[in-house]
Amino acid sequence: MPKVALQAGPCSGVFVPLAGAPRLELPLDQVRVSAGFPSPAADYEDKRLDINEYLVRNPVSTFFFSVEGDSMQGAEIFDGDILVVDKSIRPRHGHIVIAFVDGQRLVKRLYQRNGRTALLAENPHYPALEIREGMELVVWGVVTGKFKRFGA
């Protein structure tokens, strides 16, 4: 906090500030002057595009998972991609899902037809994972999108 110093000048009763006393700068960067015509674009101002809006339908129930491996490349899901997972969507046959099986977090396509439940890969090198009696399958959420950042 600056100290204000006062000193009696040559004529008694007149005060002059000491050299080096604090000065109040004019706040130029905060003075706004409006001049000229209003912008003709003002009526057309739109909100800038927001990627959240595009990828996330229900923010409260949306979570992100990172992908490890290449078994889903047929569905355009690659190693290192980040998945958008919406837990509020009820999983159905054909959805790409995050599933908990046998202590593992998997990303697979859910197959549920004719009494058969399986998790399918989208890569011929990986077999389907059949869910048999006594196995526990938790379909954690439905994958609704993905994104990736390049190292540029």
* Residues taking part in catalysis: 71, 108
Cβ closest to another protein, residue 6 vs residue 8 = 6
Of the residues 60, 114, 150, 151, which one makes contact with another protein according to CB under 8 A: 60
Site pattern 106..145 for another protein (x: CB under 8 A): xx-------------x----x---------x-x-x-----
Query: Contact, 145 vs 83, CB < 8 A?
Result: yes
Q: How far apart are CA 101 and CA 136, in angstroms?
A: 6
Cβ closest to another protein, residue 34 vs residue 104 = 104
**Site for another protein contains 2 (CB under 8 A):** yes
Residue written as token pair 């927001």: 50
**Site for another protein contains 19 (CB under 8 A):** no
Amino acid type, 119: L
- Point out which span in 6-14, 18-26, 40-48, 110-118 binds another protein (CB under 8 A): 18-26
**Site for another protein contains 101 (CB under 8 A):** yes
**Site for another protein contains 54 (CB under 8 A):** no
Element of type H or E holding 77: none
Q: What is the CA radius of gyration of the chain?
A: 32
CA distances, 77 to each of 47, 63, 145, 149 (Å): 30, 17, 9, 14
